[in-house]
Structure 1
Amino acid sequence: MGGQTAAPQLAAEAIVAADGYRLPLRHWGPVDKPRAVILALHGFNEYGNAFDDPARFWGQLGIATYAYDQRGFGATARRGIWPGTNTLTADAAATLRLLEARHPGVPLYLLGESMGGAVAILTATAPGHPPIAGLILSSPATWGRQTMAALPRATLWLSRLLIPGMTFTGRDLGIQASDNIPMLVALGRDPLYIRATRVDTIDGVVDLMGRASDAVAEIAEPTLVLMAEHEQVLAPESVERLLQRLPRRPDVVVASYSRGWHWLLRDLGRRAPQRDIADWVLHPGPALPSGADQRGAARRDLVTPPAPARAAAGG
């Protein structure tokens, strides 16, 4: 982020950051008197339009959704260049304050998908962060170096040192992010979707995810975490660490979807998690319409049994 030249502004089609950098902005749902407001942060190599389908659905229920292209992604300047973790979280915090001013007294939620989930975690746990009604994490990416094997860690370090500008597509990894094939085909043709990623950008996002993984235990707000049972993008070790480190409180709800893939909110079965988010926002509580909270609780107990159970197991 450059030097501050003016106060951040919420323009019609962009967030103008304090350094003058423009973040293209999209808005769905009611303009006046929404029942709730969601600021949605997109995933790695994507941009704000990723929330078009869920945001249209939430808009029918009176929920307003805002999503901007994060720095280095979508239609922003210096697209493909990693902006730095602190810059990403500063942009999110500034936007939350702008939305709070636009919609005073309306519950404001921060949603992050994949990489956006890592940004959301760090934004919500930073000292002096803007107040939010709750945190929503969809397939949050917390795959840092803590859960990487020694060889990939060393390879990434050496590549960052020697070939920072070389790009990789990941096309041969055989990873599927969703069962919604028409959506995947359309995304592959989208000129704003980044297909080839620089090594130093990969290194940056790994740092972001690692910091978010460490910060998970510090989450103080009501939180809804949505997990996919057909996850292929995130390493199982990182998902297990996330479930272990999440605070065990009644207002921290884990939902697990048997039909879900990484892009839960755009899958063929997307209406279930979309409806669960809307219900949790409008009627906060531990139970979800789909019952995915029960699967989530059971999944979490597999990796970290509740305290009384641990005590009993220890004799």
Structure 2
Amino acid sequence: MLIARMLAMRYRRVRERRRFMRSKPRYCYDAKTTLHKIRHCGVLFQHDCSLPPVLLTVTALLRCPLCCSLVAAMLFSATSPTHTRRHVLPSGPALFTQHWHVSAPRGHMLLVHGYAEHSGRYGHVATVLKEAGYAVTAYDQRGFGRSPGRRALVWDFDILAHDLHAMSRHVQANSPAPLVVLGHSMGGLVVLWTLLMHDLSAAGVVLSAPALAIGGNVPPGLAPLTQAVSRWLPTLPTVGKVQGGISRDVQVVAEAEADPLNYHGRVPARTGVEMLRVGQQVQARAAAITHPYLLMHGTADAIVDPTGSTQFHSASGSADKTLRRYEGLRHEIFNEPERHDVFADVVAWLDARMSLQSQDETSHPHTTAQA
């Protein structure tokens, strides 16, 4: 049984690697049609001219809207990161990672994005934190954005928790600043699950609309049926997204719907089952959460029920906990018209916690932070 599981894991890694490699430019010449062809980002570009393969590859990259948008964001956006790279986990895939560097940072924020999106949507959040003196590291979770994996398929939340734990240890090994973890929606649920499953050494946690109560979006009777078939049909499409439910800002909604790195399909059965399961377990074990946290939720959130955050806050075992409810704001409070008020609350909470951290280090000079 153990050998079979090891072979299955090896097969999945090889398959993910091959899927990732297929996203790279591949050139071929069709002798029948005398066309020069190159496949890139899932799109087939072809020319009837006799361009050399190198020039044909460059032409395809320039014609690719995804590549052009990424390059433009890197060159001209004020929210672009200091550098990007693919961080290879000790026992997993190479996750796409972005970093916003600050000299002598007050703290280091590790950002975990939500379902169906990617870390690139948090450039403005990272910029605000950077201006406040905090370094930021964000990564695309496996199966999302520019990281490998079956799109939007979460087979087991323990895998995402393991990834976050590995990323946190990597950040702490390379940054002396206190670590703070920020998670939005599904990312917030991943953060809470990691706190329960691993020894996550963090000075604080910021939670934005954590996906603790998503059952309201599931039609009656669909949840038990989905749970029954999710193991055999993990990619079975279930519920769709709430149209316009992320923000009252029309431009934000339009950009999210046009973003090629976002996932625009229905929720895979296995992903939905795992989110429901982990959300219920986190609520049941809320008393075991003792880390300082700032919990934020919009009262008009139609994607994640705000009452889930209220129930968790009441039951959590943390002695340093703060709940902020934003009247009339929808799911993505960082992308609402009142986002600057939300940013101010986050920075104020971080500054207060970092001041306490500095006082503790001053009063206990021989105590070192756990890596």
Q: 1:80-122 deviations in whole A, cap 9, x for unaligned? A: 1324211111111111111111112x12101110000011111
Give the whole-Å Cα distance in 1 for the aligned partners of 2:306 and 2:132: 34
Does 1:101 find its partner at 2:159?
no
Moved over 3 A (4+): 144-150, 161-164
- 5 Å-filtered alignment, 1:1-315, equals 13-30=85-102, 32-80=103-151, 81-104=153-176, 106-127=177-198, 129-143=199-213, 151-160=221-230, 163-168=233-238, 170-171=240-241, 173-174=242-243, 176-196=245-265, 197-235=267-305, 237-247=307-317, 249=319, 251-284=320-353
1:60/1:240 Cα in 2 relative to 1: closer, same or farther (>3 Å)? Answer: closer
In the alignment, the residues of structure 1 paired with residue 239 and residue 137 of structure 2 have an alpha-carbon distance, to the nearest angstrom, of 29
CA contact (8 A) 1:39 1:110 kept: yes
After superposition, the Cα gap between the structure-2 partners of 1:40 and 1:236, relative to the gap in structure 1 and judged at 3 Å, is closer
Unaligned stretches of 5+ residues in structure 2 = 1-5, 14-82, 355-371
Max radius of gyration: which structure?
2
Give the stretch that moved more between structures: 201-210 or 269-278.
Answer: 201-210
Does the aligned pair in 1 maintain the 2:204–2:291 contact within 8 Å?
yes
How many residues are treated as equivalent by the alignment? 274
* Structure 2 counterpart of 1:272, one-letter code: D
Match of 2:141, SS state, is coil
Which residue matches 2:51? Answer: none
Following the alignment from structure 1 to structure 2, what is the Cα–Cα distance between the partners of residues 189 and 150?
31
Mean Cα deviation higher: 204-213 or 116-125: 204-213
Change (3 A) 1:191 1:71: same
**Structure 1 residue 66: Cα displacement:** 0.8
Question: Which amino acid counterpart does residue 218 of structure 1 have in structure 2?
Answer: A
Scaled by the length of structure 2, the TM-score of the pair is: 0.67
* Distance in 1 separating the partners of 2:220 and 2:98: 41
| Greater RCO structure (CA 8 Å; 6+ sep) | 1
- Using the TM superposition, give the Cα deviation of residue 169 of structure 1 relative to its aligned residue in structure 2, in angstroms: 6.2
Matched residues in 2 for 1:272 and 1:236: separation? 19
Q: Deviation of residue 282 (structure 1)?
A: 1.5
Q: What secondary structure, in the 3-state scheme, does the structure 1 residue paired with 2:262 have?
A: coil
The 8 Å contact of residues 39 and 67 in structure 1, kept in 2 or not, is answered as yes
**5+ long unaligned stretches in structure 1:** 6-10, 286-315
| CA distance in structure 2 between the partners assigned to 1:159 and 1:193 by the alignment | 26
Aligned-pair identity in percent equals 23
After superposition, the CA RMSD in angstroms is 2.8
What secondary structure sits across from 2:144 in the alignment? coil
Per-residue deviation, 1:167: 2.4
User: TM-score, normalized by length of structure 1?
Assistant: 0.78
Superposition deviation, residue 154 in structure 1:
2.0
Tell me, in whole angstroms, the C-alpha distance in 2 between the residues paired with 1:235 and 1:144: 6
| Residues 161 and 284 of structure 1, relative CA distance in 2, 3 Å threshold | closer
Q: For each residue in 1:110-138, what CA deviation from the matched residue of structure 2 results, as whole angstroms up to 9, or x when unmatched?
A: 111000001111112334x1311001111
CA displacement, residues 140-198 of structure 1 (integer Å, 9 cap, x when unaligned): 11127799896243232245367543325625x55612112211111111111001132
Matching residue of 1:8: none
Deviation at 1:74, TM superposition (A): 0.9
Q: Is the 8 A contact 1:36 1:282 kept in 2?
A: no
Closer, same or farther: CA 146–265 of 1 in aligned 2, 3 Å? closer
Question: Is the CA contact 2:105–2:133 (under 8 Å) kept in the aligned structure 1?
Answer: yes
Q: Secondary structure at the match of 1:72?
A: coil
